[in-house]
């Protein structure tokens, strides 16, 4: 890589390094609030611009800046509050209990749950609860869990931390989990199985009713990962869309995760983990009566938590209301349907399975889907790149429901397909890591090293710009 190319790479990774001061130590004197706010407002407006145009897949689920401002006002009233101290902030019990109750009502639950900081914490906490339940009730010391190959990777992360063996079940030709293959992976040490509604990669709902029957027949739990779809699919069902049963109406479903910070339109850092019974939930609790600091109790991994997130999540649900959620879902589903049908009309592409609000698509032949992504990116569209198989997906959110957005995307996609055909055989700029990562174990080790380097860079101060020549 030439010096100029390396500088360009750094500018892409650290776009503010030439326009703002890099702080490597605490300033000797306070920086003015006006200067701080000015810099933050400039960065925020720059970074929100693309999402506000409606050309981003997922990421921004609401897009209403008046709504954000309202939630920011609520957050500011409780941002300093530590909800661990309920004697000082008993309102947290009202907020948290009602968030759980409203989410449970939406998903036909029993009102048992907890509020977490996001989907990963919800999934990892559920995994912990099943591990502890199996250890206590069944004496299992070498636990395993059976997941679809498309299950969210946070489960793999949590299992890695907790020494739980992960068994990945393959998919059917329709890209949902193969239930028979999953059954074959279950043994006496299996603590639970998992299904998605819908999965992140392709937006597909696993056959939850079949998984529920399987879980009951083997006497184990079934967690449904509704982190992505949990706050949208119920409204789509109410609007008349054909949504298979996936929530607590399915016998055998014992826990569900649903992110309020996605289609619940709360601020980031908010999710709900629901259980069918308090008996399962109690396994995630930590209590310690013998600490010199006093009796300690915690519902899960977190200790101190800001009351701002809990208060603003409660406010988001109330301020949106059923009519607001239905209206948003109507726009999202109409847009997603138009995009899905439009992609099906492009012969070089193939929609993966039968998705609802998130449309995964891959090449129907030997077209390089990452070249398609290169062109889409150049045209101002930000898609999510997938691998195994190489594909892209468009997760439709409220900003994408602006008039003309679906039509503009499909026109850009047709242009991108023509570009990929013209450049066939040339290496793509985007997504190259995915193809490389799907190769040999040695290749995966190399990619892991590169990915660790990216994580390192994300936690470092921007390098100083090179001196002018």
DSSP string covering 344-384: HT-TTEEE-S--SSEEEEEESSS--HHHHHHHHHHTT-BPE
Reported as a single tens digit per residue, the pLDDT across 153-183 is 999 999 999 999 999 999 999 999 999 999 9
pLDDT at 431: 67
**Mean pLDDT for the chain overall:** 92
Looking at the chain, the whole-number percentage of residues with pLDDT higher than 70 is 90
- Burial class of residue 70, CB neighbours in 10 A (0-12, 13-18, 19+): middle
Tokens of residue 296, six digits:
């300690």
Q: Residue 233 pLDDT > 60, yes or no?
A: yes
pLDDT at 440: 37
Are 231 and 237 in contact by the 8 Å Cβ rule? The answer is no
pLDDT at 194: 98
Q: Residue 466 pLDDT > 80, yes or no?
A: no
**Rounded Cα distance, 432 and 263, in Å:** 31
Looking at the chain, the whole-number percentage of residues with pLDDT higher than 90 is 83
Q: Residue 443 pLDDT > 60, yes or no?
A: no
Model confidence band, residue 458 (pLDDT cutoffs 50, 70, 90): low
Q: In what order do the strands lie in the sheet with 255-258?
A: 112-116, 271-275, 255-258, 221-225, 190-196, 144-148, 165-169
Instruction: Give me the residue label for tokens 């001061």.
Output: 21
pLDDT at 76: 98
**Rounded Cα distance, 148 and 443, in Å:** 24
Start-end of CATH 3.90.1150.10 domains in the chain? 322-422
The DSSP bridge partners found for residue 272 are 115, 258
pTM of the model: 0.92
Q: Per CATH, which fold does 74-317 belong to?
A: 3.40.640
Q: Residue 91 pLDDT > 90, yes or no?
A: yes
Model confidence band, residue 437 (pLDDT cutoffs 50, 70, 90): very low
| Among 49-53, 354-358, 385-389, 457-461, the least confident range | 457-461
Model confidence band, residue 435 (pLDDT cutoffs 50, 70, 90): very low
**Rounded Cα distance, 257 and 196, in Å:** 10
Q: Residue 139 pLDDT > 70, yes or no?
A: yes
Strands (E), 71-218: 112-116, 144-148, 165-169, 190-196
pLDDT at 403: 97
**124 contact partners, CB below 8 Å, separation of at least 6:** 154, 155, 157, 158, 161, 301
- What is the tally of helices (H) and strands (E) in the chain? 15, 13
Start-end of CATH 3.40.640.10 domains in the chain? 74-317
In this structure, whether the domain defined by 322-422 belongs to CATH 3.40.50.2300 is answered with: no
Are 223 and 256 in contact by the 8 Å Cβ rule? The answer is yes
Model confidence band, residue 454 (pLDDT cutoffs 50, 70, 90): low
- The count of other CB atoms within 10 Å of the CB of residue 268 is 11
Give me the DSSP letters along 304-355: S-BHHHHHHHHHHHHHHHHHHHHHHHHHHHHHHHHHHHHHHT-TTEEE-S--
Q: Where are the alpha helices (DSSP H) in 19-113?
A: 33-52, 65-78, 91-106
Reported as a single tens digit per residue, the pLDDT across 39-82 is 999 999 999 999 999 999 999 999 999 999 999 999 999 999 99
């Amino acid at each position: 890589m030439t010096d100029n190319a390396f500088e360009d790479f750094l500018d892409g990774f650290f776009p503010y390094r030439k326009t703002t001061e890099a702080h490597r130590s605490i300033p000797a004197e306070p920086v003015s609030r006006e200067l701080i706010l000015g810099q933050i407002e400039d960065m925020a407006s720059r970074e929100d611009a693309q999402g506000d145009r409606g050309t981003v897949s997922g990421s921004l689920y609401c897009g209403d800046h008046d709504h954000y401002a309202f939630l920011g006002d609520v957050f500011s009233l409780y941002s300093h509050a530590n909800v661990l101290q309920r004697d000082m902030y008993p309102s947290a019990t009202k907020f948290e209990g009602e968030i759980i109750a409203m989410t449970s009502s939406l998903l036909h639950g029993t009102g048992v749950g907890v509020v977490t900081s996001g989907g990963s914490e919800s999934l990892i906490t559920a995994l912990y609860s099943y591990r502890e339940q199996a250890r206590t009730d069944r004496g299992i010391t070498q636990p395993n869990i059976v997941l679809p190959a498309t299950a969210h990777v946070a489960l793999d992360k949590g299992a890695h931390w907790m020494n739980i063996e992960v068994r990945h079940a393959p998919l059917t030709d329709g890209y949902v989990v193969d239930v028979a293959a999953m059954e074959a992976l279950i043994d006496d040490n299996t603590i639970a199985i998992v299904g998605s509604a819908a999965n992140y990669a392709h937006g597909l709902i696993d056959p939850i009713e079949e998984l529920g029957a399987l879980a009951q027949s083997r006497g184990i739990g079934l967690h449904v990962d509704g982190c992505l779809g949990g706050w949208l699919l119920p409204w789509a069902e109410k609007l008349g869309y054909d949504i298979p049963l996936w929530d607590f109406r399915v016998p055998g479903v014992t826990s569900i995760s649903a992110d309020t910070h996605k289609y619940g339109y709360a601020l980031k850092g908010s999710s709900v983990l629901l259980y069918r019974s308090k008996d399962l939930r109690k396994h995630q609790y930590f209590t310690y009566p013998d600490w010199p600091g006093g009796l300690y109790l915690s519902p899960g991994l977190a200790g101190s938590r800001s009351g701002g997130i809990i208060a603003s999540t409660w406010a988001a649900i109330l301020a949106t209301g059923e009519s607001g959620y239905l209206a948003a879902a109507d726009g999202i589903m109409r847009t997603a349907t138009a995009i899905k049908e439009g992609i099906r009309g492009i012969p070089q592409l193939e929609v993966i399975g039968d998705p609802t609000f998130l449309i995964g698509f891959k090449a129907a032949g030997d077209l390089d889907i990452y070249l398609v992504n290169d062109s889409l990116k150049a045209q101002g569209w930000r898609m999510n790149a997938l691998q195994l198989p190489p594909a892209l997906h468009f997760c439709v959110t409220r900003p994408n429901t602006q008039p003309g957005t679906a039509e503009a995307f499909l026109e850009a996609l047709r242009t991108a397909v023509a570009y990929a055909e013209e450049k066939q055989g040339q290496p793509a700029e985007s997504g190259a890591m995915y193809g490389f990562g799907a190769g040999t174990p040695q290749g995966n080790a190399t990619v892991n090293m590169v990915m660790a380097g990216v994580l390192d860079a994300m936690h470092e101060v921007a390098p100083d710009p090179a001196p002018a020549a």
